[in-house]
Amino acid sequence: MEEVELLLKEARRAMKRAVAPCSNFRVGVALLGRERVYTGCNVENPSLMLSECAERVAILKAVSEGEKQIRALMIVSSDNDYCYPCGSCRQLIFEFAPEADIYIASRRGIRKYTIKELLPFGFRREL
């Protein structure tokens, strides 16, 4: 449970760094790699097509720094309700964190999922 509390604290900290001038909807993510925590926040752009979700920011940061084992993710949002990953983020989790525990926090508590529950038929290219 200590890891979950740490991820919640770090996700809330990341949420405060969100850049959301259009929606004012802030999202923070903390993910647990093999030996460290990576964070991400949503970054909006007025064109919206250039905006990035917090989940993608955190995962791409971890992957770009050489992380190979994402064990858990925590997602929080500024409206204190459950904030589920969008389809693109679910696919990225499916690819880079297939075994990770996914925690989604709200003012009512924390829910735990696997990516198979959130994306039962994710795309996987067989090589």
**Residue 125 domain flag:** no
In a domain, 127, yes or no: no
Domains: count for the chain: 1
Classify residue 126: in a domain, yes or no: no
pLDDT at 124 over 90: no
User: Distance of alpha carbon 29 from its chain centroid, rounded?
Assistant: 4
Answer yes or no: is pLDDT of 63 > 80. Answer: yes
55 is catalytic: yes
Q: Is residue 75 part of a domain?
A: yes
- Rounded to whole angstroms, the Cα distance separating 34 from 69 reads 6
CB 104 within 8 A of CB 84: yes
- pLDDT category, 49, cuts 50, 70, 90? confident
Are 3 and 48 a contacting pair, CB within 8 Å?
no
Residue 43 lies in a domain: yes
Judge residue 73's burial from the number of C-beta atoms within 10 Å of its C-beta, 0-12 exposed, 13-18 middle, 19 or more buried: buried
Q: Which of 55, 65, 95, 117 is catalytic?
A: 55
pLDDT at 1 over 80: no
- Phi/psi of residue 4, each to 5°? -65, -45
pLDDT score recorded for residue 127? 56
Q: What percent of the chain has pLDDT over 90?
A: 93
Return the closest-CA partner of residue 34 out of 75, 74, 65: 65
Residue 87 lies in a domain: yes
Mean pLDDT, the chain, rounded, equals 96
Query: In which domain, by residue range, is 54 found?
Result: 2-118
CATH code, domain with 66: 3.40.140.10
pLDDT at 4 over 70: yes
